[in-house]
Each structure stands twice: as C-alpha cells, then as structure tokens.
Amino acid sequence: MSGRSKSEICLQGIGVSPGIAVCDARLVVSESDRIVTRSISADEIPREIARFEEALIATHAQIKHIQKQVSEMLGDEHASIFDAHLLVVDDRTFIEDVIRTLKKDMINVEPVLSAVSNRYSDMLSKVDDSYLSERAADIRDVTRRILGNLAGERLDRINSITEPCVVVVHDLPPSDTATMNKSMVKAFVTDLGSSTSHTAIMARALQVPAVVGLHNVTATVENGDVVLVDGAKGLVFVCPTEKRLKEYRQRALEQEQILLELDALRDKPPETLDGYLVPITANIELLDELDAVDARGAKGIGLYRTEFLFLGRDTLPSEEEQAAAYISAAKSQYPAPVVIRTLDVGADKLPSSIECFNELNPFLGERAIRFCLSHPQLFKTQLRAILRASVHENVRIMYPMICCLKEVVQANELLHECMDELASKGIPFNRELEIGTMIEVPSAALIADLIAPHVSFFSLGTNDLIQYTMAVDRGNENVAHLYQPTHVAIVRLIDHVVKVSHKYGLWTCVCGQMAASPELVPLLVGLGVDELSVTPSQAPVIKDVIRKLHYSSAAKLAQEALFSDSAEHVKMLCRDLISNIAPEVLEFSS
C-alpha cells in the first residue's frame, strides 16, 4: 500500500460490469510508456548492441511466421504486404543508424530506436509519394514489434499479475481483457472506454467489476493506493474513508443476498405473469463461459462472438481448430440452440495476424461482413468450420453488420460453395441450418422485408444500431449523452424489424446491451421481441424482471414509447415500471 496520507477522492465514470471490489491499485502502462532512458558505460555498449540484434532476429522470425500463415489463409497477394516489414527489419542503413546513435549518446537502445524510427517515419510521411509515405507506417509497426521483443517479459502484463489488485490503465484492448488473470484482477478502471465497447463486453463475460471513461484515473491513482470500485454505479473511490468502506461492505452483503435469491430462478421459465414466454439465451466470447450459461439460467447461446478465437495471437486459427471450438459449444448446449456469428473484425478488433491498412474511420470501413467478403478464403475457412459443427443440428449461423441485400446473397453463395466442398469430401453437415443476419445498421432495418426471404431470423445488435442511427461514436465522451437506447427512432426501428420478421414467419432476438438492461426489458418485451440474449451473469436479473412483469403492461409501455416525444420520457416510463415490479434489480444497473 502507498505510504502517503491522502483524502478520499470520488471519480464518476461509466459502470460497465457490476460488482463491488476493494483492493490495492496496480498501474499498468502501455509499451510506449515503458521506454525508459538510462545512461550506459562504454563496457555496456556491446551488450546493448547484442540485445538489439537479438530483438531484430526475433522480429524477423515473427514476421516470416505471420507471412506464412497469411499466405496459407489468404494467398500470396496478401502475404506480400509483409515484404515491406522485412525490408525495414533487415535495412542495414536503419540498423547502423541506431547503433551509431547509441554509441554517440551512450544510452540504452530503446529510446535510441524510438528516436531514429520517428525521424525516418516523419521524413517519409512528408514525401509527396504515396508508396514512400506508406512506408512510414511500416517503420512504426516494425519498431513497435522490436520494442516489444526488447522488453522481454512484461512484468505488468495483466495475464501475469500474481497479487490481488485493481488494475488502473489508460485503455485496455479486448484481447488483453480476455487474457487477464481474473483470480488476481479484482476489478479494473480506465481513462477511456464506453458501456458498449468490446472491452466492456469482455469484463461482463468474465464477471470482473469494471468502470471506464474516468478521464484521468491514471493521473489520480498511485501504485498501492486502496481503490474501491462500484461497477454498477460507475463510481471509483481512491483512498476511501472507513465510513465508506463500512457502507460498501454492507452493500456487498445485500447484493450477495439478492444474487442468491435470483439464482433460485435458474430452472424457472422466463415467462411473464400472464403467460408470455421470452427465451433467454447467452452471449459468449470464450469457451470458458460455457459452464456458466446453464448455471445462471440461460438456455442456449444467442451470440457466439468468434473473433476472440482470432485475437491476441500471431497466427490465424485453422479450420480444425475453429471446428473444435464450435463443436464444443454445440455439444455443451444441445439441444438448445447455438448461434455462431461469423468473424466481426475491424475497428477496435484486429488480429495481429492480419495486415490491414489504417482507415480514417474504421467503424465505417472494411469491417465485419465487408472484411469477410473481401477475404473469401479466410471467410470460407470459418464457414466450413461452422458447417462441420452443424452436424449437431442445434447450430445456427449469423452474418454481422449487413447493410444491403447483396451482402446476404454473396455470403449465402459462399456458404453454399462450402457445403458443396464438404459434400464432395464426404464430410457431414446440416444443409438445412438456420441462417440469420445482425440488424445493426439502419439501412438493414429499413429493408428488413427484402432481407427476410433469404434468412430464418434477425438479431438486433442494438449497440451499433444506436451508434449508427444517432451518428454517435459510442466511445467518444463528448457526444456520449446522445447515445440513447430510448430514443424514439431506436424504438421505432426495433418495432419495424419485429413486425417484418413476424410477417415473414421469422423470429427476432436482441443481443445488444439493451437486452441486458433490466429497465429496458419491459420495453423490448412489449415491442414483441422473441428472444433476449445476454451475458450469462445477467440472465438471473433479466429473468427476474420477466417473471414479475405482465405482458399487457409491457405492451402498453411500448405503445406509449412509440409515440413519445423524447428519449428521457421513455426512459422515465421504463424506470418507473421497474421500480414498481422489481426494484431490487436496480442495484445492478447504472
């Protein structure tokens, strides 16, 4: 613990994963923050040069390995992108410049490498030649990898933390969140982030209390400070008073009692008081979550986010590796359904094994189904793996970020090509597996009637649907107040999609954060949504709401919402209803 005397500081952020935790702070810094300058003697120069050359050799080997994997999965054309990276790591002019500067300045190699790299990349980026300016990005990418190899074992990597702590970090990629040692990381808090980021999704999946969007928590907290985290309310107390600790110890006991009562609902049907059944399925990212699905009362998987098979690794998963994962999910839930979403990479989720060009606005760029259709071999590898798992007959497939009918048609054509390939090899699969699309782009919602004849179901990804409808970057704190799930435009889009799906004999699920928000469940039920898919830990809370709700009350609420004039009014209607029927669940809602 920190030895300094410090008054309690209260910070308000965005609660993204409920729970209460109290522990010492552990500051985690990015690789760029770890470049420390230290003087060296003449005797140390050969050792620094040797460290540099070893890091170059390791980097060269890593790039060659990635290039080989990409060649096998995507073809030589895409693998050739890495030729430029190899030219950088083997460039003797660049290497000699680093060594010469190291000898002159008499400091360790990390700051020298960073300075030389910045000088080269800055010069190239200013050249009026597209090829040369693109090489600046190659230099920066290779430099980051060399620095990583120079660092060796990073003591503050989240997956290697061995003491109980609250992790305090500027930002946390979803791949790092997925690999955290949750037995030691009691909670985490970040400067950046939003409630619908993939880091937040991972925190909820791992059931680790988390608060994001705190702006300056890394500047406020010191290593060893006692930190209290309220993941539901988005509150962080630095050096809390004894009175505060006592208050939260009592709240933790009360929450534990509520959760015990909710767990008793595990085998009860998610049915309203007047007999309206709303199945609850689970969103999962990791196979480790499979046991929690049934244990918390969900039945089946409404969204299996497959991109986490691709993140945090230097190689692409093979067809066999993917098939094994999908088969494990199918077997664990049988006969309950398992909806496998095809790869949704892009924006904040890019595997290191896939080389992608920087985009000015990646959330509106080549991501999800667009990425898959432009990388057909990678896509077909996944489609074949899903088809091989479909032999268990509870597997369904779903395409992400559809924006037009053409994308559905093209994806289905590739799926049928894969069916023919497997059939020619005598590999069994279910030719009648259900096909669905995510509805998370307004254009898809508005042409749901055109898409419906080509699919079996819709799944409303409300996180992106809100973002794209409201033109709000869900991670931008300056416009976060405009990210409104209860905006009438969102309510009307959901209503439209549900009505279209029922007209064509389809069913509609909501798998976004709206489904896991207790106060919004009556609204979704009233709009006629057929299924709710949530993080396993949220299933008991959502089931509690459904079982205390009258469908007639939900339908009345939905009708009022459709003709309301403000998001605030709709939110108030939802909150009032929950306060009357299930006030205990508000303890787990921000």
Give the span between the Cα atoms of 122 and 140, in whole angstroms. 10
Q: CA 169 → CA 30, 217, 220, 238, 255, distances in Å?
A: 8, 8, 11, 14, 27
Other C-beta atoms closer than 10 Å to the C-beta of 275 total 9
- Among the listed residues 506, 449, 443, 440, the one whose alpha carbon sits nearest the alpha carbon of residue 474: 440
**Do β-strands 9-12 and 235-238 pair in parallel, antiparallel, or remain unpaired?**
antiparallel
Hey, how many other C-beta atoms are within 10 angstroms of the C-beta on 477?
15
Catalytic residue among 23, 165, 418, 511: 511
Q: Which of 85, 198, 375, 487 is catalytic?
A: 198
The first and second tokens of residue 587, run together, are: 């303890």
* Residues whose CB is less than 8 angstroms from the CB of residue 198 and which lie 6 or more positions away in sequence, other chains included: 174, 348, 349
Angle in degrees, CA 136, 51, 30, rounded to 5: 55
Q: What are phi and psi of 372, to 5 degrees?
A: -65, -40
User: With contact defined as beta carbons under 8 Å apart, do 146 and 85 qualify?
Assistant: no
- Buried b vs exposed e over 163-200: b needs ≥16 C-beta within 10 Å? eebbbbbbbbbbbbbbbbebebbbbbbbbbbbbbbbbb
Q: Helix, strand or coil for residue 4?
A: coil
CA angle 339, 461, 537 (to 5 degrees): 65
Q: How far is CA 498 from the centre of its chain?
A: 26
Q: Is 511 a catalytic residue?
A: yes
| Cα–Cα distance for residue pair 367/588, rounded to 1 Å | 33
Contacts of 409 (CB under 8 A, 6+ apart): 454
- Decide if 543 contacts 272 (C-beta within 8 A): no
416 is catalytic: no
- For residue 396, the cross-strand partners are 339
List residues bridging with 236 in a β-sheet: 11, 229
What is the token pair recorded at 454? 């080509």
Catalytic residues: 198, 511
